[in-house]
Chains A and B, each alone.
Chain A
Amino acid sequence: MPPATLKASRGAPYARLVGVGGYRPARVVPNEEILRHIDSSDEWIRSRSGIATRHWAGPEETVAEMAISASGKAIAGAGITARQVDAVVISTVSHFAQTPAVATEIAHRLGTENAAAFDISAACAGFGYGLTVGKGLIVDGSAGHVLVVGVERLSDLTDPTDRSTAFLFGDGAGAVVLGPSLEPALGPTIWGSEGDKADVIGQTVAWNEYQPGQRFPALRQEGQSVFRWAVYEMAKVAQQALDAAGITAQDLDVFIPHQANMRIIDSMVKTLKLPEHVAVARDIEFSGNTSAASIPLAMERMLETGQARSGDTALVIGFGAGLVYAATVVTLP
């Protein structure tokens, strides 16, 4: 028998960001509170990281609750209803039930009509990974609108007595809605992984090796190795994303790197030789490192405070444990 002829779907010519929303937990934790458990100082923390405060979630502010809150804002901002969301992509490393994916609960409670829903694990590059998956779903006709959320409760994975990481991490959720577009509004993604550096960032103990009585697994990293990779290797990736989108740094309005550390952000700006007119996201001062949530959270803040405007051209780049990275140029919603 000859192979059957299949029908295939084809979607919109392009995809674009149509809405963004964030959720920041109510409790603001200043450096003074971190200092109760480590021998350090406010000045030391600020000079090494640029972080002054971070939000830590309370018991009610679960991964699902935070994601739903951020998603509601993003969906409202997009001017659609949850019923028009056909796929929900959740990026997180701090949802502690292995299965089912938290995405299904979020899709259900938002009121989608049985939207496809799944979690991805790409750490601090998770937002860019989700964006890239979502774009593909829209262009291939698998979805009309896609919700992409980065959500973390990294306070659960923080060792308060580790003076090199206790101050770094925060909690929160950032969501975007992707929709169809007649014009290109998302550049090609430059993404990848470097598994030879898998031990540079990770958790102290694997779940299946964790023994009762031990400290709960926490995030740990080789600070100098991460810094070198982020500043020098990721600047090359960021430049490739500009090149792939057919623009130069001069054409940019906004730069939103993953909010890992202010020193990394400052050094990236220098290495990339970004012109003065480019607004740079520095949300880390108030949010700490929120992994996959950091880019959409910073995007929302920049739009709310007028540092960025709808229609602006923004370079976004995420990088983290894996090691993994993803950079692309987007038109802001």
Chain B
Amino acid sequence: MAASREEIIAGLAEIVNEIAGIPNDEVTEEKSFTDDLDVDSLSMVEVVVAAEERFGVKIPDDDVKGLKTVGDAVGYIADHQS
């Protein structure tokens, strides 16, 4: 069953916490991965791969560049869930 927007945010928060050590409650939709959450371009790849596994989506390299904020990622995952 597809995850809800809230479930996707919660899942991303756990992933970002694991990779960048940011507290889960700071991972909110308006936050920028690089500017606010200490997720640099290489850590972003780790976030993306973890998100692919968790939510059963494929996020090609070309699309990763478009995911600036947590909200961007939530929207992408919500739209591409099988």
Contact = CB atoms under 8 A, between A and B. Distances in A.
Interface of A: 47-48, 222-225, 227-228, 231-232, 261, 263, 267
B46 A223 contact: no
Contacts of A228: 45, 48-49, 61
Interface residues of B, number: 11
Contacts of B41: 48, 223-224
A260 to B, nearest CB: 12
B40 interface: yes
Contacts of A224: 41-42, 44-45, 61, 64-65
Given A47-B40, A228-B49, A231-B46, 17 more contacts: A48-B40, A48-B41, A48-B42, A222-B61, A223-B41, A223-B42, A224-B41, A224-B44, A224-B45, A224-B61, A224-B65, A225-B61, A227-B42, A228-B48, A228-B61, A261-B42, A267-B46
A202 to B, nearest CB: 16
Contacts of A267: 46
A48 B45 CA distance: 13
B61 A263 contact: no
Contacts of A263: 42
Nearest to B40: A48
Interface in B9-46: 40-42, 44-46
A224 B64 CA distance: 9
A140 to B, nearest CB: 41
Contacts of B40: 47-48
A232 B49 contact: yes
Residue among B40, B41, B42, B65 with max Cβ neighbours from chain A (10 Å): B42
A152 to B, nearest CB: 23
A231 B45 contact: yes
A272 to B, nearest CB: 15
10 contacts: A223-B41, A223-B42, A224-B42, A224-B44, A224-B65, A227-B42, A227-B45, A228-B61, A231-B49, A232-B49
Interface in B52-82: 61, 64-65
A224 B62 CA distance: 10
Nearest to B64: A224
Contacts of A261: 42
Nearest to A228: B45
A126 B39 CA distance: 33
A231 B42 CA distance: 11
A228 B51 CA distance: 13
Contacts of A223: 41-42
B35 to A, nearest CB: 14
